[in-house]
Structure 1
Amino acid sequence: MAKSKILLVDDTRLILELEKSFLKMSHVDVITAGNGAEALELVRKDPPDLIFMDLNMPVMDGISCCTLLKSDPFLSSIPVVMITTAGNDQDRVRAQQAGCDNFLTKPIDRRLFLDMARKYTDAVDRREARIPCQIPVLFLLQQSPVGAHALDIGDGGAFLASREEVVLNEELRIAFFLETGEVPLLEMKGRVAWVNQEGKRVHAGLPTGFGVEFVDAAQWQKDELKRYVEAQPLP
């Protein structure tokens, strides 16, 4: 199955590299353009699944590019997320009039960027670096405990191998049975960030299951996870 394609458009190389780094764990192809004219040429040759575009650029700005894209019946369905300056309501009005689908503001927050991307493609993954593991897990699903195994884990989240049906953004209570550490049973609150369904795999190398992002973690919980991760041998 072909990867989803995301186009990043900005005239500042540092911003492009930052946005690319946000997507490094995702099963997507990332292409970049330095201005609206270059972006328009790339889109017409090979339309992406999603575009993040800066508003202010030389040669052709984001407003002009978005207007042309949304006026083309063959390209108008491509979601365009406009990157604007925080607090500039006038820019938002102009971008909305140009037909953009959503907004983000600078400085760009990784979490908000990936949340926005996942609205338009489920191939986007928010995961930080993880280590492989085989940790027994219990999680509460509709108040009933369900067994699973964590196949990778980091201080920001984990992947749980399970055939139970969960939905995106569902919140779960999760208990990890750690083999080492000061707290052998670590209870965490998690949110379903993505789902690897049978027949619709986001990550082909992983079994049926789902990724969870840890939320509202206390500092001692983060420290315990970090100690566990650092104690494991490198893969």
Structure 2
Amino acid sequence: MERKKVLLADDVELFLELEKTFFRREQVDLLIARNGVEAVELARREKPHLIFMDLFMPEMNGDAACRAIKADPELADIPLLMVTHGGRGADLERCRAAGCDDLLLKPINRHQFVDAASRYLRLSERQAPRVDARLQVRYGEGLKRELTDYSLNISTGGVFLETSNPLPPGSPLSLEFNLPNRSEPIVSQARVAWINDPKRITKPHLPAGMGVQFLDLSLADLQAVRDFVQTAFRKT
């Protein structure tokens, strides 16, 4: 059985030791980061199957680290759970706004922690990868979708659009596209996560373009994208 990698990011040793005991008997390799910068670097290097991220850490807080990870097309699909104290509404909203997949509240409840870890590790096993897909995507700022380009690939986290005029990273978008055999279009707010600048290609295996991250897919649209990706993956 493949060993799973779980990244624990927290600057408080007590919580790290507590969290590590939960995995002692499991087929899990633990990666430890004590600040947000280390967490992002470890995630990029090790590609963990699951991340637990404390909200408040030195050098870079957990919500900023979460945004950086979710903006990376190679990491965006990794389940990331934010950990913070309950009862602080502003802190909980910070975690949600960062794009995390779930929340766990301190003081950590062993049952909830293990249940969340088991659930998301099973999901990561079933998660289909990014697949090639040539789809016409209409996009623009606000509600206006004035630009049209074609996707090169797609995952449940976003699409790569082939274009010689990519927008700057962080640009907000409204996008719309159709999937085969589905009458209703997929509609989502999105953001440009990264670009392959035509003047300075950083990923030679890809054409000029931009990686676009979905921000608010409805449950129905998310399921439709997931079904499309999984079906395409089974055919490869």
TM-score (norm 1): 0.51
Are residue 111 (structure 1) and residue 66 (structure 2) matched? Answer: yes
* Structure with max Cα Rg: 1
- Cα deviation, 1:125-159, whole Å, max 9, x if unaligned, reads 44433111111111125845111111110111110
Greater percentage in helix: 2
8 Å contact from structure 2 (residues 187, 217) kept in 1: no
Give the structure 1 partner of residue 178 of structure 2. 177
Aligned twin of 2:30:
14
- Structure 1 residues 110 and 177: CA distance shift in structure 2, 3 A: same
Look up the equivalent residue of 1:22 and give its one-letter code.
A
Q: Which amino acid aligns with 2:60?
A: F
- Alpha-carbon distance between aligned partners in 2 of 1:166 and 1:86, rounded to the nearest angstrom: 30
Tell me which residue corresponds to 1:60. none
Deviations for 1:8-44, whole angstroms, at most 9, x for unmatched residues? xx99861259867732xxxxxx49xxxxxxxxxxxxx
1:77-156 equivalences under 5 Å are 92=58, 102-105=59-62, 111-112=66-67, 114=69, 125-128=74-77, 129-141=129-141, 143=144, 145-156=146-157
Structure 2 counterpart of 1:169, one-letter code: G
Cα separation, partners in 2 of 1:140 and 1:226, compared to 1, 3 Å: same
Aligned to 1:199: 199
Instruction: Spell out, residue by residue over 1:203-235, the C-alpha distance to the aligned partner (whole angstroms, 9 max, x if none).
Output: 211111100110022211211111211222443
CA distance, structure 2, for counterparts of residue 177 and residue 124 of structure 1: 21
Give the alignment's TM-score, normalised by structure 2.
Answer: 0.51
Instruction: Tell me the amino acid that sits aligned with residue 131 of structure 1.
Output: V
Identity %: 18
Aligned-partner Cα distance in 2 for 1:223–1:124: 19
* CA separation of 1:112 and 1:200: change in aligned 2, threshold 3 A: same
Structure 2 residue 214 is matched with structure 1 residue 214 = yes
- 3-state DSSP of counterpart to 1:224: helix
Quote the Cα distance in structure 2 between the aligned partners of 1:145 and 1:103: 37
Instruction: Identify the residue that residue 163 of structure 1 maps to in structure 2.
Output: 164
| Two-structure CA RMSD over aligned residues (Å) | 3.7
Residues in 2 aligned to 1:147 and 1:114: alpha-carbon distance in whole angstroms = 27
User: Measured at CA, do residues 132 and 16 of structure 1 come closer, stay the same or move farther in structure 2, by a change above 3 Å?
Assistant: farther
CA distance in structure 2 between the partners assigned to 1:86 and 1:131 by the alignment: 32
3-state SS, counterpart of residue 103 of structure 1:
coil
Question: 1:227, 1:187 → 2: CA distance?
Answer: 16
Distance 1:124 1:144 in 2: 23
Unpaired runs of 5+ residues, structure 1, are: 1-9, 24-29, 32-83, 93-101
Q: Given the alignment of the two structures, is residue 186 of structure 1 paired with residue 161 of structure 2, yes or no?
A: no
